[in-house]
Structure 1
């Protein structure tokens, strides 16, 4: 099925520094859960200057606002210009990000403080974004306060926020207009579906690359089991130090913490290790919890070769057991960071992009990211719910279309809810069918 949507009288409005402009020839605006900040690209045709009074349509740092079908989808700033011209024509391409774009490459608290103690995720995020005038919309519970949040001098704002949110299983995304949203993946559903071939999809593009079999996150923490008073007191005679029972094990556990998870759809040995980088979130409950038990095919702490029994030359297709998802009563540990990194890496390595005509879905609403959508794709073997990971609205001349990138529904989920069988009948297949065969 092929369809063209012709725009009679543009329903796209582009404002630069508050003024509507009309000399643009193409416009793209979109949001990607993996990048957080929304982005845009505008192409202009301008007259060749014929006098000193010429003024270009746009300059770097100009404010921009893009409205589609009476809905403002992006407010931000022009960050880059690419101008080409000859004696008869002048073409300008402007690109940039939404208002949260400055968080990506600007320093977090260059004058301090470098540490926060006993602080909630939304509170520290608010402190870091306040100088930029960014609002925070907390849509879910973010867990207990962090025991300690330590910022490194080289941390960017978004880098620090991403690291902290990962420790609480919170998805941080931009609303494209005024600020950040602290949420979970797939809380709403798109009022439409994607079907290719023979449906509403004009073009399909599959982007699949390899990923890692074992994801490790390792870190060290100062033990919180130590007393606040030293064994020796200058005002009294020395006395023997009697540590509480099990203190040595707790000290060892605090200094040798790790998280580990298995991607069972990767059939050869490809481990990766990430460092926790800071003591952020190291609580007594986290330090008292044991490191995750390793399966017999992931001997990452043993002296012999890791995973030697899992990937023998003659058994490349050995099936490993997936790491169980977290339970609601579990403390937040490095295991959660390992789960988060594995799932998001899978999302980045496995994406399917469907281009549909127009910018509105069957309910006459804009296609939006972070929604579940039923997908039927005979070529890629998908028949069930997927998560819209990115949306790009496109206007080219008088034609409109939307590029929709879908990823596995559990890509940004730690609870395991997305792995559960459907109860509503809308998730009709095991989700591993959507991405398991391409590792």
Structure 2
């Protein structure tokens, strides 16, 4: 593998920049936009800075020939003293605009529209396209923008109800993501071979024995009244030895089927999040030359944490420092992100 395979380039206004002293690039299945931070230092006097990179500039970030981010520069601070000048470039995917900016569609209400149509309408206001990886079968009775909410907050209210994750891709598009759609990692994460370090909080404080989802559905001419409008469903985790109940009040229109699915999803995802673990490996590429990627399945063999099976890489960070290049991988059980999970049970006190 040549050094150029890991050469990080930032392209701004058709100009390529490299030679970075430190690098941090992050992609996360549960976050709407990727981020990057690049640093370079000049010695001076004798050298000057021609700062052609400005906040707001469109940009692309590549590792070798692999495009990893398309977006904008958000920060370009300069620091200097009597010996050197330091320049930092920070930016993110195009999809950050959905997180920062208000939902502004007019009209601001949809009736009997598919999920994908509504998401595309919200994203198109900021010039963003949507990639759909899920089977779209549910039609919503109603969706209304809440005054003051961001475009992503409006999208997220839809996705939470239908248990769908959204993220971005290397082209800066919004992706309604199917967990594991990135395929399978070529290498395993194995203690004693490629794992440099691991961190597993094992925090079960948000795991419960019973999940109750409550909400309302719209009545009809044939059915009306409190008995029809009130919806409730419960999912139980029988592995818990003591009673712990939580109630989720769903703010959008709900059906009994959706309430049951949401309760089961909460049970599975919370158990999965409690087992989320962070690993570090040397380098950014696997033995076959592919970058480590998020939303891919990876075999984990870790007898310390009692892991021996497939996990889903939910987050990946490529970093470069004086210690060399390192990839930080956040993994969790695949059912953590499954819209219709059947989680394995294990006893917890």
Q: TM-score range by the shorter chain?
A: 0.7 to 0.9
Secondary structure of the residue that 1:389 maps to in structure 2?
strand
Distance 1:380 1:9, change over 3 A: closer
Match of residue 34, structure 2, among 38, 41, 45: 38
| Distance apart, 1:70 and its partner CA | 0.7
2:310 corresponding residue in structure 1: 385
Deviations 1:213-259 (A, max 9, x none): 14333222331x22xxxxxxxxxxxxxxxxx5xx4xx5324432234
**Structure 1 residues 40-49 or 374-383, which shifts more?**
40-49
Q: Structure 1's 354 and 121: CA in aligned 2 closer, same or farther, altered over 3 A? A: same
TM alignment of 1:2-401, pairs within 5 A: 7=3, 11-46=7-42, 55-56=50-51, 58-81=53-76, 83-109=78-104, 112-187=106-181, 188-196=183-191, 198-209=192-203, 210-213=205-208, 214-223=210-219, 225-226=220-221, 247=223, 251-264=225-238, 267-279=241-253, 282=254, 286=255, 289=256, 331=257, 333-396=258-321, 399-401=324-326
Report the Cα distance in structure 2 between the residues aligned to 1:8 and 1:133, rounded to whole angstroms: 33
Structural mapping, 1:412-427, within 5 Å? 412-416=337-341, 419=343
1:130-189 deviation digits (Å, cap 9, x = unpaired): 122212122231113211112211322122222212323333221132312223212422
CA contact (8 A) 1:37 1:176 kept: no
Relative to structure 1, is the Cα distance of residues 342 and 49 closer, same or farther in structure 2, using a 3 angstrom cutoff? farther
Secondary structure of 2:334's counterpart equals coil
C-alpha distance in structure 2 between counterparts of 1:67 and 1:40, whole Å: 11
SS of 1:191's partner is coil
- Judged with a 3 Å threshold, the aligned counterparts in structure 2 of structure 1 residues 387 and 87 are, in CA distance, closer, same or farther, namely same
* 2:5/2:65 contact within 8 Å kept: no
Cα distance change, pair 154–211 in 1 and its aligned pair in 2 (3 A): same
Larger Rg: 1
- Greater mean alpha carbon deviation, residues 399-408 or residues 8-17: 8-17
Distance 1:215 1:47, change over 3 A: farther
Q: Which moved more, 1:212-221 or 1:257-266?
A: 257-266
CA-to-aligned-CA distance 1:197-219 (integer Å, 9 cap, x gap): x1111222223322131433322
Question: Residues 8 and 15 from structure 1, CA distance in 2 versus in 1: closer, same or farther, beyond 3 angstroms?
Answer: closer
Q: Which runs of 5+ in 2 are unaligned?
A: none
SS in 2 for 1:390: strand
Q: Counting strand residues as a fraction of each chain, which structure ranks higher?
A: 2
| Structure 1 unaligned regions, length at least 5 | 227-243, 290-330, 420-430
The change in CA–CA distance for 1:379 and 1:64 in structure 2 (over 3 A counts) is: same
Cα gap change, 1:269 to 1:365, in 2 (>3 Å)? same
Query: Which has the larger displacement, 391-400 or 164-173?
Result: 391-400
